[in-house]
């Protein structure tokens, strides 16, 4: 069953590729792309302004966070940060974010999650399969993040990579080292188990070891000591939630631990998976509910604010990490700020609106329609993948 799904998806995807390349669509896509470029160049200047404004006083967008331990801060995260639902992917339903990883960082996101696959010997960020959605190489992704970190020296960033093809740490490590981002890699005092007291952000910033990297799952390799096996440090709530009342604070992984309470007391950091998927044959992000799902309200069923507060209360400590789809909607940052008790500075404003083909022109919408059909078939495979990987 699975191979025929993949074959069908592959065939449809190549058709989609052809329709995108066809001349009747070429003209108008080009003008939309030019518009997107203008937007991004204004983003780029806002980013450098943000860096200048941040200066030496704020750490992760607030002076109040500088002297707080890394694990006593809620780091807001973008789930599947390389899988975009934008013009570049014809607004595919396989996309989980409207804006890319560096735009996310400038908007305040400090945790980037991605799936990593081996595609003919190259580590690529693909959604379940590289046939479905290929978000580019790990090298390109890390280089972009390194450039952002170079320009924003007071910011601590966390990566959470899913090792979908069970690669060795050295395969990841060689890309970290060749891009130079390894120089920012932080190695904790224990590389084999949970750490109850992490350094403050200021300590990480002063040492310029501002990148914390977790990989699920990987065998630790002392040649790349900063690549940390996720489930030795972090526990997670359930993912693949399909009902707005399905979010809770119960430990789902690692299965070696009994409960959230025992994880917390052993020094593990809690991660909330706060993204809603649709049910049925096809599983995809529940976009119709995204405004509620990402809302900071603590009294709305299914909102990020409600799950964040519930877990902080149940665990006796706030969640260290939270992952959402379409981070700009909500905006999800509001819940992290609420939990951290800060008023943020130095962020780039990103629209909280959903990005759709109709907002970027009718011709694009026709291209998107083709992509949509393809993605719908592809999601049959994604539905399986969602339960295998994050
Ligand atoms: C995000 O897009 C901007 C241009 O809009 C680009 O400069 C940047 O490198 C991209 N980031 C990533 C992670 O691809
Ligand atoms: C965590 O940070 C809060 C806010 O600054 C502080 O009140 C609390 O004591 C800190 N907890 C720990 C364990 O350091
Ligand atoms: C990778 O880079 C890190 C940080 O710069 C360094 O400590 C480590 O030795 C490098 N590993 C290899 C195998 O070169
Ligand atoms: C927590 O939520 C998950 C996903 O909705 C569900 O499978 C699990 O049964 C829930 N656990 C409890 C104790 O409610
Ligand atoms: C997955 C999910 O819970 N979807 C809900 C989204 O919101 C609509 C109403 O707007 C519900 O009917 C869906 O069940």
Q: What is the pLDDT of residues 307-316, one digit of tens each?
A: 999 999 999 9
With 90 as the cut, is the pLDDT of residue 295 above it? yes
**Domains of the chain: which residue ranges?**
2-19+58-388
Cβ of 203 below 6 Å from ligand 2: no
Grouping H, G, I as helix, E, B as strand and the rest as coil, residue 363 is helix
Q: Where are the alpha helices (DSSP H) in the chain?
A: 2-21, 23-54, 101-106, 138-151, 169-179, 201-206, 260-266, 290-293, 304-315, 333-340, 362-388
Assign 56 a pLDDT band (cuts: 50, 70, 90): low
Is the CB of residue 19 less than 8 Å from the CB of residue 370?
Answer: yes
How, if at all, do strands 122-126 and 134-137 pair?
Answer: antiparallel
What's the CA-to-centroid distance between 100 and ligand 1, angstroms? Answer: 6
Cβ of 68 below 6 Å from ligand 2: yes
Active-site residue, from 75, 117, 127, 274: 127
pLDDT at site 38: 30
Q: Whose CA is nearest to atom 12 of ligand 4?
A: 250
Q: For a substitution probing ligand 5, which of 289, 295, 302 has the most ligand atoms within 8 Å of its CB?
A: 289
Topology of the domain comprising 2-19+58-388? TIM Barrel (3.20.20)
Active-site annotation holds for 79 = yes
Active-site annotation holds for 75 = no
Q: What is the pLDDT of residues 5-42, one digit of tens each?
A: 333 333 333 323 222 222 222 223 222 322 233 333 33
Atom of ligand 3 nearest to the CA of 170: 13
Q: Whose CA is nearest to atom 2 of ligand 5?
A: 243
Mean pLDDT of the chain: 82
Least distant ligand from the CA of 103: 1
pLDDT at site 129: 83
Bridge partners (DSSP) of residue 118 are 123
**Sign of the torsion angle spanned by Cα atoms 390, 201, 345, 52:** negative
Cβ of 310 below 6 Å from ligand 4: no
Q: Whose CA is nearest to atom 12 of ligand 3?
A: 223
């Amino acid at each position: 069953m699975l191979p025929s799904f993949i074959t069908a998806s592959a065939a449809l995807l190549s058709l989609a590729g052809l329709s995108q390349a066809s001349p009747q669509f070429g003209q108008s896509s080009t003008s939309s792309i030019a518009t997107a470029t203008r937007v991004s160049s204004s983003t780029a200047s806002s980013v450098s302004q943000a860096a200048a404004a941040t200066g030496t006083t704020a750490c992760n967008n607030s002076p109040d966070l500088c002297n707080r331990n890394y694990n006593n801060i809620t780091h807001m995260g973008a789930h599947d940060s390389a899988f975009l639902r934008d013009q570049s992917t014809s607004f595919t339903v396989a996309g989980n974010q409207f804006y890319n990883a560096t735009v996310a960082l400038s908007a305040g996101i400090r945790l980037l999650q991605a799936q990593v696959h081996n595609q003919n010997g190259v580590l690529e960020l693909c959604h379940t399969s590289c046939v479905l959605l290929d978000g580019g190489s790990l090298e390109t992704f890390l280089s972009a993040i390194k450039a952002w970190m170079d320009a924003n020296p007071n910011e601590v960033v966390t990566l959470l990579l899913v090792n979908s093809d069970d690669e060795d740490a050295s395969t990841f490590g060689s890309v970290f080292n060749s891009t130079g981002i390894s120089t920012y890699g932080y190695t904790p005092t224990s590389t084999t188990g949970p750490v109850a007291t992490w350094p403050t952000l200021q300590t990480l910033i002063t040492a310029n070891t501002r990148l914390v990297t977790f990989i699920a799952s990987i065998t630790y390799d002392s040649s790349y000591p900063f690549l940390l096996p996720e489930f030795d440090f972090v526990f997670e709530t359930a993912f693949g939630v399909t009902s707005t009342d399905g979010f809770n604070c119960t430990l789902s992984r690692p299965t070696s631990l009994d409960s959230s309470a025992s994880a917390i007391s052993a020094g593990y950091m809690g991660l909330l998976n706060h993204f809603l998927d649709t049910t049925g044959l096809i599983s995809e992000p529940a976009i119709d509910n995204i405004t509620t799902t990402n809302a900071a309200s603590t009294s709305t069923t299914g909102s990020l604010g409600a799950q964040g507060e519930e877990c902080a209360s149940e665990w006796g400590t706030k969640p260290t990490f939270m992952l959402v789809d379409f981070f700009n909607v909500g905006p999800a940052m509001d819940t992290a700020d609420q939990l951290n008790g800060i008023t943020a500075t130095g962020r780039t404003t990103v629209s909280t609106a959903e990005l759709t083909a109709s907002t970027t022109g009718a011709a694009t919408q026709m291209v998107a329609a083709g992509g949509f059909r393809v993605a719908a078939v592809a999601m049959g495979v994604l539905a399986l993948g969602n339960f295998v990987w994050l």
